[in-house]
Structure 1
Amino acid sequence: MASGYGLNGGPSRCFAFWQEVLGCYVINAGEGDTGKKKCLPALEDYYECLHHKKEIARMRAMQRAYRKAEASHPRENAPKAEQISSLGLLGKDEESKKTMEAIR
């Protein structure tokens, strides 16, 4: 959360990453731009904790790969279009009549 406090009043979930970033900046403060460059991995981890961009990108890539693999191997026992559209009810008038007569 923006306040630095978590939902239950304790530290936020990314507080440890933020401490790493601050510690890195304190250690490398006098080195100018090279000090900031040394802190990029820690800052990247902190941003990932906040926004989950890399995790979401990996998840979407895995979903695309799964869909591609599923499309390349069609199911062997997949129902045909006629079976899906009719739900198995069309063309079975005789069976329906028999069932209705048995009920009466």
Structure 2
Amino acid sequence: MKYKLSQELQSHFESLLRRMGKNSLSLLQKTKTIVSYSGGQDSTLVLFFYEYLHKEYNCPSPYVFHFNHGIRNNEEEETKMETFIQTRFSDFLFVKKKFLNLLPS
């Protein structure tokens, strides 16, 4: 999918950058970030923000990290998330980890 954000969302991101302060952008341009991704709306918005930073300000693309707690079977949901990341955010590295219960039963 081609990079495209609404003007309203871009305006919100610029407002956020202003509120973060002048030094924040230069720090973001030097720092590789890990973004925890659950597949929900909040973490998806964070990905859009990092996409904006990457495309507009040449910030490094983040590592997108998803942790499966093993509480429920959500392999299908994880596959959809991975496909979404690889399609929309092809510059981002998606990392999945699964909780391993090492305690005796």
Would you say same fold, with TM above 0.5?
A: no
Structure 2 length-normalised TM: 0.24
Structure 1 length-normalised TM: 0.24
Larger radius of gyration: 1
Q: Which has the higher contact order (CA 8 A, sep 6+)?
A: 2
Q: Which has the higher helix share?
A: 1
Q: Which has the higher strand share?
A: 2
